[in-house]
Structure formats: structure tokens, C-alpha cells
Amino acid sequence: MQSGPAPSDRYKWIALSNTTLSVTMATIDASIVIIAMPAIFRGIHVNPLAPGNITYVLWMIMGYLLVQAVLVVTLGRLGDMFGRVKIYNLGFVVFTLASIALSLDPLAGADGALWLIVWRVVQAFGGAMLMSNSAAILTDAFPANQRGMALGINQIAGISGQFIGLLLGGLLAAWDWRAVFWVNVPIGVWGTIWAYRSLREIATTKRARIDWAGNVLFAVGATSLLAAITYGIQPYGGRATGWTNPWVVAGLIGGAAVLVVFGVVETKIAEPMFRMSLFKIRAFAAGNAASLMSSIARGGLQFMLVIWLAGIWLPLHGYNYTVTPLWAGIYMLPLTAGFLIAGPVSGYLSDRYGSRPFATAGLLVAACGFTGLMLLPINFPFPVFAAIIFCNGLGSGLFASPNTSSIMSSVPARHRGAASGMRSVFQNSGMSLSIGIFFSLMIAGLADTLPRTLSSGLRAQGVPAAVAAHIAHLPPVSTLFSALLGYNPVKSLLQPSGTLSRLPARNAAVLTGKQFFPHLISGPFHHGLVIVFTAAIVMSVLGAMVSLLRGRQFYYEETSPAQGEADMPRVGTRAPVTPRTPAPTGDGLPPHRSGEGVPRAASS
């Protein structure tokens, strides 16, 4: 066993600053390529909407999320074994080197796209090292009565990074697509040097055998499941989605089965990668379940809003398709502002009054925001839209930091790396699941109404009936990605047949103008939005119900000098009390209260 010195008051702010920088950088890169995709693919001479190339688009986005979801638990566990700061610092190095490789892509065409996808995977590996250990480093550095504030700032900066990436991607891509990746390099170099010079190991580390069986089973199961979801979005056999594809079905069933086996195996191993015993702690189990539901509800929101703004609302208000992705990011800033305001405030208040009321209320506020979005007309007044997405941001901010603090404070210090990785798995898996769920629901909604609307609209402008029928029955995913990537959808659909050149100039101008497509798709898209946001409301309300089950604020405090937290105030009280630390049981956790499943420790 090894332990570092107790943290100083100055050190905790250094840890907060550095980890917030790293998490923001990692989450910005999860979304920065969404807006920059047209410029990136133009730079490597690939048409992302050509048949077969949608796969490159999806893996540029989903590959990053998939790798982080799969690896964060393993890397968090390695942090417990070999030092959280060591794994975290190495993550900075890997992330920076991958960013350099991405910006130097020497290839073109399909080879250039594959180069980017492979190095995005490596970049995600570095990001997973950072994200899996940052919360554990902060939990070690801050006393219990300040963790909510610290984790709140860190968590909200990370979530906001997903939306800042949309804006930053548009600005940088307008200059040079390689700048989208170069921007990480000076930040990564500075953050790496700063981390190696300033951060130190505080918590006890325990060398143990690597759980090879658990690592392999989890990687195979999670990869199969999330990859199947990625391919389920794509069309198959004349259908709008690929959920009937035998490989997708096999991936879903096989991946789920492997994960069940993984769960059983982890209960039989002395030093497991995924500590199932932590789920005996009610605050940990309920917090992670609520986090999964919140991530599913929130994860696909940015894609739906970008499509709504870039494909319909902005063209209706005179914006050219080439600039709509950038302006979509700008018009979504109220959502980011809500995160930034609510996160630190709710973290600070949860330190005083407990996590449960703020986390639960946050999910209910988010559900109200989704309800408001569902009730908006497609061509909405922007002040109303801004107020609703600001409300949605407030709800997510209210939830995120108290929930993270509740999860991380409820586990023994020696398991915080694994707990941080497990928390990140639920959050990142929710993001990946939500994209699959939301896109599938939206595509299902469009498939019901879009073909008829599109066919009649095209024929009205002189497009031959056979061509109109063919286009109307193309997979709706092509239409969605056209809007998402800033392409004129009708122009993209008609160009391959050469129909535009044979139409009268007036009709061609109407078809490729700013008004035709938004008016045409408004009805079908709103139908899809109702389905999507109804699902988000259900997930938010279920998450709130689960959040209520976490119990009163609970701290698992160990009075080891390495923690520097012998006397911590109870939440909701001003007088310091000495936490009670009971003797551990065989699984390394204390005994449970009867009927509660919560370890005995200081609580209020």
C-alpha cells in the first residue's frame, strides 16, 4: 500500500482547474466534428452523403463515444491500482498526440476517412483516461463539504463542452478543417506539463491482479451492443432503419448476453474491474441509474436541435445552408448558459442541504423543458425557444453536479477510481444509446409521413413522378444528415439523377431555395419531434423517481490521514462531527442498515 500526503488548501484548486480543463477539452472533441464534418470531408475529398459514406459519418461521431463508454471503467480501475494521477497524466499525452495525428491526415478519399476514424479512437482512449480519473482526483482533493461545488464545476464544464464544441467546430472549420484538431495541441501540451508538475497521488493505491476476464467480457459485450446500435440507425434491405439486420440483432442479443455473463463473473473475482458490491450502496446505485436515464434523455437533444435549426428554422429566416450548422451552435447558447449557471450553484447548495432535492428537481425541470419543446411550432419565435432551452439547461445543471457528488462521496476512497469509471460508463453509454434511440424514433416518425409529403411536393414543381417516387422512398437518414451537415437536402437528393438541369429555371430555383425544403418537411419533422421528446420526458420523469430512492445525503468517510477529512460536517448542519467508520465486511464495504442497503457512516 502507498499513500500520498494530505491535500493542501491550494492543491485542491489546482486539481479542480486542471481536471476541468481536461474534461472540457475531451467533451468538446465529442461534438466539435459534428459541425465541422462538411469541411473535414471536403478536405479529404469525400462526399459524406454518397451511398455507403454515411458509415464514415456515423463512426466519426459514434466511435469516440463508444470507446469512452467501453474503456472508462477499466482505466478507472487501473487508476486505483497504479495511481489516478499517473493514468490521468498519460491520458493528456495520448490525447495530444492523437490530435496531432488527426490534423496531419496525409490521405484522401476512403483512406483519409479511415485515418481520421482510427485516430479519433486513439484520441477517445486518451479522453477516457482523463474522464475516468478526474472525478476521483477531485474527490480525493476536496473535503466532503465542498465536493458538490467542485464536482459541479467539473461536471458542468464537461457537459457544456459538448455544446461549446458545436460553436467552436463551426468557427474553426470556416478557417481550415485541420484547425478543428490543431486547437487541442497547445491546450494538451500546456495541460500535460501542468498536470505532471502539479498533481500528486493522495489516495491509497493497491497493486492487484488485472481482471482480464472482466475486461475482455465487458469490452466485447459493450462494443457489440453499441456497434449494433450504430448500424441500427442505418437503412437495411429497403427499410428506413437496420434493426432487422441479422448482424444488428445478433450484436444486440449477443452483446446483452455477454454483459450478463460479465456481471456474474465480476461477483466471483477477488479483485474485479467492475465492483458489483458498490451497488449495495443505495446512493451509488440510484445515482448511476438516474444518470443513465438523464444521459439518454439529454444525449440526442443536441442532434435534434441542430437538425431543427439548421434544416428548417434558419433557412426559413434567410440563412444559407452552408452556414446553418455554425449558426445552429450560436442559437443554442442559451442551453449552455443554463448549464453554466445551474451547475456550480446546485453543487454549492447540495453541499449544505443534500443532493437528493436538487438532483430530483433538476430532472423534473428538464422534463418541463422537453414538454415546452414538444409544444413549440416548427417556425417558433426565438425568445420563447431560448427560454425553453435555457430551462432545459438549468434542469440538467441542477441534476449533474449534486448527482455526481452523491455518487462519488458514497464509496470508499480506495474504490473511487473504479467508481468514477463506472459513473462515466453509465453517462457515456446513455449518450450512445440516446443517439440510437432518438435517431431511430425520429426516422420512424419521418418514415410514416415524409414519403407522401416529399413526393407530392416534388411533383408540384415538375419533377417526374418516377424520380419523385424514388426520392420519396430513400431512407430518411439521408435527409436528416443533409440538414445536420449543412447541405441543401433537395439539391443533394436531385443531383444524382440530373433532374435539376432539365427543369425550368424557375422550378429549379424554388426546389433549391431556402423555403421549399423547410416548408415541405415541417409537418413530418414535427411528428417525429413529438415522438422523440415524449421519450425524453418519460426518461426524465423515471430518472427523477429513481433519484428520490437514493436516500438522505450519505458520505462514506475514512478517517485515514491520507484523506485529510477526519472531521467533516454533516450536510445540513454547521457543527462538525466525527464520522463513524464501521469495520469492513468481506467485500471491502461496511455492513448495511436493515432494509436500506446503505453502509453505516455519517449521514443526515
Instruction: Give residue 406's pLDDT.
Output: 84
3-class state of residue 603 by DSSP: strand
Residue 17 CA to residue 205 CA, distance in Å, equals 23
Residue 559 pLDDT:
39
* pLDDT(271) > 90: no
CA angle (357, 361, 367) in 5-degree steps: 160
Question: Residue 420 has which C-alpha cell?
Answer: 468514477
- Provide, rounded to the nearest whole percent, the portion of the chain with pLDDT above 90: 19
> How far is 576 from 573, CA to CA, in rounded Å?
8
Residue 203: predicted pLDDT: 63
Dist. CA 301–CA 441, nearest whole Å? 13
Handedness of CA 88, 94, 100, 103 (dihedral sign): negative
In this prediction, residue 8 carries a pLDDT of: 62
Mean per-residue pLDDT of the chain: 80
Question: Does 601 score more than 50 pLDDT?
Answer: no
pLDDT > 90? residue 102: yes
In the three-class reduction of DSSP (H, G, I as helix; E, B as strand; rest coil), residue 104 is classed as coil
Task: Return the DSSP state at 310.
Answer: I
DSSP classification of residue 60: H
pLDDT recorded at residue 600: 37
Strand-pair partners of 577 = 568
For range 71-95, the mean pLDDT: 85
More confident residue, 481 or 594: 481
Type of residue found at 429: S
Q: Let me know the angle formed at the C-alpha of 126 by 125 and 127, rounded to the nearest 5 degrees.
A: 90
pLDDT confidence band for 100 (50 / 70 / 90): very high
**Which range has the top average pLDDT, 6-10, 340-344, 482-486, 579-583?**
340-344
Question: Which amino acid, 366?
Answer: A
Bridge partners, residue 599, by sequence:
592
pLDDT digits (tens, 9 = 90+) for 172-189: 887 888 998 998 889 889
pLDDT, tens digit, for every residue of 392-446? 989 988 898 888 888 878 888 777 777 777 887 788 778 778 877 887 888 877 7
Q: Which has more confidence, 434 or 144?
A: 434
Residue recorded with cell 480543463: 21
Q: Which of 34-38, 142-146, 500-504 has the highest mean pLDDT?
A: 500-504
**Residue 599: band (very low, low, confident or very high) from pLDDT cuts 50, 70, 90:** very low
Identify the H or E element spanning 1: none
pLDDT at 558 over 60: no
The packing angle between helices 516-548 and 301-308, to 10°, is 160
Q: Report the pLDDT value the prediction gives residue 51, as an integer from 0 to 100.
A: 65
pTM score of the predicted model = 0.76
- Tell whether the model's pLDDT for residue 2 goes beyond 50: no
Whether the CB-CB separation of 228 and 255 falls below 8 Å is answered with yes
List, for residues 509-534, the tens digit of each pLDDT value: 888 888 888 888 888 888 888 888 99
- Give the separation between CA 481 and CA 48, rounded to whole angstroms: 9
**What is the per-residue pLDDT for 590?**
46
The answer to whether residue 543 scores a pLDDT higher than 90 is yes
Backbone angles phi, psi at 79, to 5 degrees: -65, -40
pLDDT at 170 over 70: yes
Q: How confident is the model at residue 370 (pLDDT cuts 50, 70, 90)?
A: very high
- Mean pLDDT (whole number) for 99-109: 91
What are 545's three cell numbers?
423517481
Residue 429 has a pLDDT of 79
pLDDT at 423: 81
Instruction: Reply yes or no on whether the pLDDT at 550 is more than 90.
Output: no
Tens-digit pLDDT profile for residues 112-131: 999 999 999 999 999 888 88
Q: What is the pLDDT of residues 240-265, one digit of tens each?
A: 778 888 998 999 999 999 989 988 98
What confidence score (pLDDT) does residue 498 get? 78
The Cα 120–Cα 98 span in angstroms is 7
pLDDT at 593: 39
